[in-house]
Amino acid sequence: MIKAPNHYDIAIIGDGIVGSSLACVLDDVGFRVALVSADAWGCAEDCPDDLAGLRVSALSGSSCHLLQRVGIWPELASTGQLKPYRGVQVWDSCSTQDLTFQATELHRDELGFIVADRCVTLALHRQLAQRSSITCYTGVSLQDLSMFRLGCGRELNLDDGTRLTASLVVGADGAHSNSRFLAGFALQTWDHSYCMINARVQLAQSHQGTVWQCFTATGSLLLLPLPVTAGHNRCVLIWLVQPAQAVSLMALDADDFCQALGQVVACRLGSVLAVDSRLCAPLRQQHVKSYVRPAMALLSDAAYIMHPLLAQGTNLGLLDVVALTEILGYAYRRGADFSSLPVLQRYQRRRQRDNLHLMALTAVLSRLHGTQNIRSYCWRNLSLGTLRQLPSVKCALMQRVIDLGLALPPLTLPNSF
Ligand SMILES: Cc1cc2nc3c(=O)[nH]c(=O)nc-3n(C[C@H](O)[C@H](O)[C@H](O)COP(=O)(O)OP(=O)(O)OC[C@H]3O[C@@H](n4cnc5c(N)ncnc54)[C@H](O)[C@@H]3O)c2cc1C
């Protein structure tokens, strides 16, 4: 066993929701953890009350349990940063069919919580700062990553000249992961021929604490409800459109953009009163062929980018955290080599299949919608109508999407240690 001061059991690259929560739970298991963050912390920047920031997540039950386990839930709840959502309304703009999911159908108070990613990340950083057992290297980027010359683990060079070693390196550094690149993981990418417009909008009518999803002839849109402040009903918009339409929509001024959006949603939500800064990016899906290499594992966006149709990116990333922690913790407690490839492959087996299934499902859904093809149109009508007639199937589907699997991993249940 290596005992050098700059040696860690596990070095995590990336301080987003996934990397930061992983650091906390691995610390709870007893690992010596280092976290490398490209961003400088300590600017004591509080999350704005109005939930500024366009990256929001609809947290599933299992994600909520994990954040409770990490210890940041009371802070998020007491500062009003969590917006419970109690329903999901899906409709097809080309037909009269629609489908409603309600929390009460699953005997729950809510289906999940909407929260700005920035609020969760800042709460996690405060949590990390309180844990003296975790070493955080902030404001520095990973520059070089090589196999440790003594044969076990990896050596990391940071761009401020710091060198450290770790038995295991975990890449949680997002879609453009440098750790993935430096370790030589093979990446597959697909272009969806769609663009994603992301904005915050204000609605004339109440959003009713509901997630609204509309499939159109040219794409789909998702409205995630934000807390009502000063009587304003605001939502985060994720609008998937074909590239030419994206260019036109982005060229519109705010009033015309609201009008264009209103034409899609007015039948359910009335007119759109205002929109703030809009972002537009091409939609890409990517997936590494293998999540693990010797002494290295990738999680979440570093390993795969999910289609935003079901807004499950953060939830899947947190399920990766749970799976990796349980598998490493089990090996650690038995005195086994937790960074060995057979142990890491267990993590890959547990997560890769589920992630690929969800990627395939969203790919099929996105193909069936966003088209005026008559067969796709009939299928859409039939499936929405049939689901409405079969409440038990609808509930099973809802449970699957909301909790991403009926059997929640033990770590996501409170007090599992
Ligand atoms: C516009 C938009 C809207 C989205 N909406 C939703 C939604 O509604 N629901 C949902 O579930 N998901 C959504 N997602 C996806 C979701 O945000 C991601 O799946 C999730 O945040 C992934 O978390 P992560 O921690 O893996 O990566 P990130 O959040 O990208 O964090 C990576 C971190 O690594 C750091 N980093 C990067 N490179 C280095 C380096 N070399 N060295 C050190 N640190 C580094 C970065 O600074 C960053 O803090 C959205 C994504 C986008 C872009």
Q: What is the pLDDT of residue 306?
A: 84
Nearest to 261 by CA among 380, 276, 86: 276
299 contacts 288 by C-beta, under 8 angstroms: no
Q: Whose CA is nearest to atom 4 of ligand 1?
A: 55
Ligand 1 close to Cβ of residue 371 (< 6 A):
no
Q: Whose CA is nearest to atom 51 of ligand 1?
A: 55
Q: What number is the average pLDDT over the span 398-413?
A: 54
Q: Give 74: exposed, middle or buried? Use CB within 10 Å, 0-12, 13-18, 19+.
A: exposed
Determine which of 18-32, 60-74, 173-187, 392-406 has the lowest per-residue pLDDT on average.
392-406
Q: What is the pLDDT of residue 59?
A: 92
CA dist 162 and 372 (Å) reads 56
Is 7-189+284-406 a domain of CATH 3.50.50.60?
Answer: yes
The residue with greater pLDDT, 358 or 23, is 23
The residue with greater pLDDT, 92 or 64, is 64
Q: Whose CA is nearest to atom 27 of ligand 1?
A: 174
310 contacts 238 by C-beta, under 8 angstroms: no
Q: What is the pLDDT of residue 125?
A: 96
272 contacts 201 by C-beta, under 8 angstroms: yes
Share of the chain above pLDDT 70, in %: 83
CA dist 281 and 304 (Å) reads 17
Residue 44: pLDDT band with limits 50, 70, 90: very low
Q: What number is the average pLDDT over the span 328-347?
A: 95
DSSP string, 202-268: EESS--TTEEEEEE-SS-EEEEEE---BTTBEEEEEEEEE-HHHHHHHHHS-HHHHHHHHHHHHHHH
Ligand 1 close to Cβ of residue 317 (< 6 A):
yes
Residue 55: pLDDT band with limits 50, 70, 90: confident
Q: Say how many CA atoms lie within 13 Å of 406 toward its Cβ.
A: 6
Ligand 1 centre to CA of 17 (Å) is 7
Q: Whose CA is nearest to atom 12 of ligand 1?
A: 313
Query: Is pLDDT above 80 for 75?
Result: yes
Ligand 1 centre to CA of 171 (Å) is 12
Going from the C-alpha of 360 to that of each of 47, 58, 97, 365, the distances in angstroms are: 35, 20, 24, 9
The type of residue at 196 is M
Segment 218-268, tens digit of pLDDT: 888 999 999 888 888 999 999 999 999 999 999 999 999 999 999 999 888
Helix (H) / strand (E) element for 288: namely: strand 279-288
Closest atom of ligand 1 to CA, residue 17: 25
Q: Whose CA is nearest to atom 1 of ligand 1?
A: 55
Residue 1: pLDDT band with limits 50, 70, 90: low
Residue 92: pLDDT band with limits 50, 70, 90: confident
Q: Where are the domains of the chain?
A: 7-189+284-406
Ligand 1 centre to CA of 16 (Å) is 6
Ligand 1 close to Cβ of residue 173 (< 6 A):
yes
Ligand 1 close to Cβ of residue 409 (< 6 A):
no
Closest atom of ligand 1 to CA, residue 178: 41
Segment 111-156, tens digit of pLDDT: 899 999 999 999 999 999 999 999 999 999 999 999 876 667 999 9
The residue with greater pLDDT, 310 or 387, is 310
249 contacts 272 by C-beta, under 8 angstroms: no
CA dist 315 and 18 (Å) reads 9
Q: What is the pLDDT of residue 237?
A: 95
The pLDDT mean for the chain works out to 86
> From the centroid of its chain, how far is CA 134?
24
DSSP character at residue 410: G
Ligand 1 close to Cβ of residue 269 (< 6 A):
no
Share of the chain above pLDDT 90, in %: 58
367 contacts 220 by C-beta, under 8 angstroms: no
Q: What is the pLDDT of residue 374?
A: 66
